[in-house]
Amino acid sequence: MADPASYRPRTGEIPTDPGVYRFRDPHGRVIYVGKAKNLRQRLTSYFANPATLLPKTYAMVHAAASVEWTVVGSELEALQLEYTWIKEFRPRYNLAFRDDKTYPYLAVTMGEKFPRVQVMRGERRKGTRYFGPYTAGAIRETMDTLLRVFPVRSCSAGVFRRAEQSGRPCLLGYIDKCSAPCVGRISEEDHRALAEDFCAFMGGEARRFIVQLERRMADAVADLDYEAAARLRDDIIAMKKVFERNAVVLSEETDADVFAVEEDELEAAVQVFHVRGGRIRGQRGWVVEKVEEATPQEFVGHLLTQVYGEQSETDGRLPREVLVPAMPEDADELTAWLSGLRGAKVELRVPQRGDKAALMKTVHENAVQALRLHKSRRAGDITTRSLALQELQEALELPEPPLRIESFDISHVQGTNVVASMVVVEDGLTKKSEYRRFSITGDAARDDTAAMHDVLTRRFRNYLAEREKPVEERDRGGKFAYPPNLVVVDGGQPQVTAAVRALAELGIGDEIRVVGLAKRLEEVWLPEGDFPVILPRASQGLYLLQRIRDEAHRFAITFHRQKRGKSMTASLLDEVPGLGPARKKALLTHFGSLKRLKAAGLGELTEVQGVGPALAAAVHARLNGLGDAAPAVNYATGEIIES
């Protein structure tokens, strides 16, 4: 760990202007981004007596190796630049507002040609509108009820494509819960308008649609069209059922997000209720670790910046009013920024009395309960991960805990379709965004040790190339920019020797520790030992090594099966006379998989552009193992003669 005094800037060198600062680790990676009204005052606070720092702040300044800053013209510019850099660099020590539960959202993919209504979890996607979150049961019921009123497409891309090709809609199209744009029952423009109405209803404009349907029902009754009136009546009942499911808490014209925070010395729980049309439309929660001692006003500022910054990038709709427990210090700049995102005025308020203050109290009670539940669940997990890293440090005689571990595995079947995987664990947790996979060919594929040498050489050759780049280019996210504290290879002494040799040839053999984990007895092999290290069966360190080794094996097997499946498909089609690369690609694109291609009839094969009757017969015969017994074809007329 670095000594903060080794990179502390002189006080006189730091400007007193507003700006944004970045802490970097020894590899040049940005690990923390912050903003300040007065850069000198803020930065000098990081180099004060370590005993006065929060634990995570202490860890951050000791993990850093340098600090730099950028002066800006105003606090609003500092706010915008800080958010931009946090999104770009993903610093590990910045507050990360992650949902404490995985509630599903009702999503409408407005970015697609024919928007689709579906239930979604996980990260938000650009061009998609989200409503919720809901409980699992409520969201399915809501979606099923509304599709009878707004029959927007809800099928997957595969189902939609098959319906287009066959000219027949799926079941939802037959029972009038889909307007069937796949078969042209509705135009692209009308279907998008239907999706917009669905979004408007979910966004709080339910009363408008209910009133419209009531008028149409009255007109139908006046025209003695009782069947149409009955259908409209059922639609109104369905709308009211969804509309009335949410509790009325404020007046109907109220659109607001209500935030509340409960915190202790180390962590903070955040809850937000989304109120639209006076009704609670959704709820979200986060629990975050605090990096530095921040006032409630500063914490709320960080919270709003990240939450609404992410929402604006995913087509989220900002409300007219944001209710917070404490007014941020840069409230004017935040209000201007939020108003710019919404395209209309946004009001930032701290409710003092009345219904809104009462709702704020309810939201705060949810935050209290969330923090209590989080601590009871996470205490054991954090302790276990820390213990595992400490055990590995002691057993493998590492200079510091292995905060970043990379594991490599080789997968093949009798030397064919050889592939390798690389998985990454940081702070004891998998980091799937940095997983990598490798195809291995030539001499490197002759055995496992040669393959391991090839993979390690390629991975760390890329690291050395990234290391030579300027720091600014490394910030843009090179694939192999940062080295691990520990490399784990699947296997025993031969695999470890091959890995160590690869690192030595690159000149970094002394920088990175390599161990192997053999499956038979779960032995840990070191480069310099004739005998393995045996960790206790109940060791958390051994359990962590097993998990990362098994994850690398799973990732490699998955890639191997994909590659093997593609090669099998390619080899079968390669043997069809007259079938070139373009037509082969067209067949696979049209049917989507080898299974559907094999099941296709001769008539379906000829629907693919460039595939005539004779070629279709040859493909059909080869895929179904008919040999020379291909169906007869009348070449004069192109007619297929099926027996």
- In this predicted structure, what is the pLDDT of residue 635? 41
| CATH (residue range 404-557) | 3.30.420.340
Nearest Cα to Cα of residue 415 among 573, 552, 564, 594: 564
**pLDDT (tens digit, 9 = 90+) per residue, 306-355?**
888 766 544 456 888 999 999 988 888 889 888 888 888 999 999 998 88
Nearest Cα to Cα of residue 512 among 402, 602, 389, 589: 402
* Calpha distance 486→500 (Å, rounded): 12
* Calpha distance 25→21 (Å, rounded): 14
Mean pLDDT of the chain: 80
- In this predicted structure, what is the pLDDT of residue 600? 81
256-371 against 404-557: fold identical:
yes
Q: Which residue has the higher pLDDT, 551 or 27?
A: 551
Statement: 256-371 belongs to CATH 3.30.420 = yes
Q: Which residue has the higher pLDDT, 58 or 291?
A: 58
Report the pLDDT averaged over residues 37-52.
Answer: 83
Phi and psi at residue 160, in whole multiples of 5°?
Answer: -65, -45
**pLDDT (tens digit, 9 = 90+) per residue, 238-260?**
777 766 555 555 676 788 899 99
Statement: 575-641 belongs to CATH 1.10.150.20 = yes
Tokens 């939802």: give the residue: 172
Note whether 122 and 150 are within 8 A (CB).
Answer: no
Report the pLDDT averaged over residues 603-629.
Answer: 75
* Calpha distance 276→248 (Å, rounded): 10
**pLDDT (tens digit, 9 = 90+) per residue, 433-483?**
888 888 888 887 788 888 899 899 999 988 888 877 776 665 555 567 778
**pLDDT (tens digit, 9 = 90+) per residue, 287-302?**
887 666 677 888 888 8
For the chain, which residues make up each domain, given as ranges?
4-89, 96-202, 204-245, 256-371, 404-557, 575-641
Can you give the pTM of this predicted structure?
Answer: 0.49
Using a 10 angstrom Cβ sphere, with 0-12 exposed, 13-18 middle and 19 or more buried, the burial of residue 442 is exposed
**pLDDT (tens digit, 9 = 90+) per residue, 75-92?**
777 877 887 788 778 787
| pLDDT of residue 638 exceeding 60 | no
Confidence of residue 407 (pLDDT cuts 50, 70, 90): very high
Would you state the CATH architecture of domain 4-89? 3-Layer(aba) Sandwich (3.40)
Nearest Cα to Cα of residue 146 among 192, 188, 209: 209
- In this predicted structure, what is the pLDDT of residue 627? 52
Structure token pair of residue 394: 């002691």
- In this predicted structure, what is the pLDDT of residue 100? 45
Report the pLDDT averaged over residues 10-15.
Answer: 87
| pLDDT of residue 571 exceeding 90 | no
- In this predicted structure, what is the pLDDT of residue 234? 80
| pLDDT of residue 550 exceeding 80 | yes
